Amino acid sequence: MALQILIVDDCPAMRAFIRRVLKLSGMDVGNYFEAANGEEALAILAVNPVDAVLTDINMPVMNGEEFVRRMRASELLQETPVVVISTDATLNRIRAMQALGAVGYLQKPFGPEQLRNELDRVLGVCHE
Amino acid sequence: MNELDSLIGALLHSCSEHVLESMFFTSIWEEADPLAGNGLERVASRLHFHGKPSGDFEVDADPGIARSLTAGFLGIDESEVTPLQEDEVMAEFCNMTCGSALSSLGQVEYFSLEPAAASRPREFLPSVEGVRRAFQLEGGTLSVCLRVDFSG
């Protein structure tokens, strides 16, 4: 079944790139939802259930840390897998996001294969 | 040049190359003169980061390179590229290359990147004093500069 994916990043060009890479990866994505920050993303998730969320960390209004924290505190959203996409690959940052509840982490730069592998892994883990 | 500067220089090359190949579908031909863009029209982007360490990162490119990189990133024709898209994409390049270099620099504990600010100087002069590397790409040059401060 086609996936429903939410992309959260304050840069429209990066959201367009992620959409492009998902298409290049050959993944069957039915709908792309997009948000520029965590607050917009929560509003979208309140009415549109998705299979996975791809989120940046540094964003205005509500950053990725607070966004993941609120998802995990929500009965409705706590099971939705979150993959963080960030330039920051320091162990401190990865551990902090995992502790908040992110199940995947992809460092920029990345290509279609890496994105697909991470999404496959995360969706597989969550479906077990 | 001290040992840290040599390491940063090598990281700037490898990280720029990785970012360009993975996300912009282009490659570096060879290293160029770091001063090649000075005094010329450039598309530039700069950010400050704080943490351990803090510092600044700057990227500047020939306008034609900024356009072709944007087209490659977005998968569109160069004729469709807008100045706003160029600014966004150059800011993303700045963000990704800086983050990639800092993540690879062993002594970094944590960092947070501030949003990159774009500019289009008609006569570019570097505003960051750090380790600078320039690269010849197809159709022009691109340079990157990183300053790190471990004292804070």
Please count the structural domains in chain A.
1
Backbone angles phi, psi at A85, to 5 degrees: -115, 110
Provide the shortest C-alpha distance from residue A90 to chain B (in Å). Answer: 5
Look at the block and give the residue holding tokens 């520029």: A36
Q: Which two tokens stand for residue A108?
A: 């920029």
Number of other CB atoms surrounding residue A123 within 10 Å: 17
Cis peptide before A109 (omega within 30 of 0): yes
Residues of B whose CB is below 8 A from A95: none
Q: What is the pTM of this model?
A: 0.89
Which chain A residue's Cα is nearest to B116? A11
pLDDT digits (tens, 9 = 90+) for A13-23: 999 999 999 99
Average pLDDT by consecutive 10-residue portion of chain B (152 residues)?
Answer: 89 96 94 88 95 94 96 95 95 94 84 91 90 94 94 74
Which chain B residue's Cα is nearest to A24? B75
- How far CA B70 is from CA of A82, A98, B82, B103, B124, in Å, comes to 28, 32, 9, 24, 20
Note whether ipTM > 0.90 here: no
Q: Which domain holds residue A45?
A: 3-127
Provide the shortest C-alpha distance from residue A111 to chain B (in Å). Answer: 6
Res B152: pLDDT: 65
**CATH number 3.40.1550.10 is the correct assignment for the domain at B3-149:** yes
- How far CA A14 is from CA of A20, A23, B96, B138, B147, in Å, comes to 10, 14, 11, 23, 25
Q: Using the predicted structure, report yes or no on whether residue A33 has a pLDDT greater than 80.
A: yes
Residue extents of the structural domains in chain B: 3-149
- How far CA B111 is from CA of A12, A84, B57, B76, B147, in Å, comes to 23, 16, 13, 33, 13
CATH code for the domain of A115: 3.40.50.2300
pLDDT digits (tens, 9 = 90+) for A76-127: 999 999 999 998 888 889 999 999 999 999 999 998 999 999 999 999 844 4
Q: Where are the alpha helices (DSSP H) in chain B?
A: 3-23, 63-74, 83-104
Which chain B residue's Cα is nearest to A110? B22
Provide the shortest C-alpha distance from residue B35 to chain A (in Å). Answer: 27
B26 vs A112: CA distance, rounded Å: 15
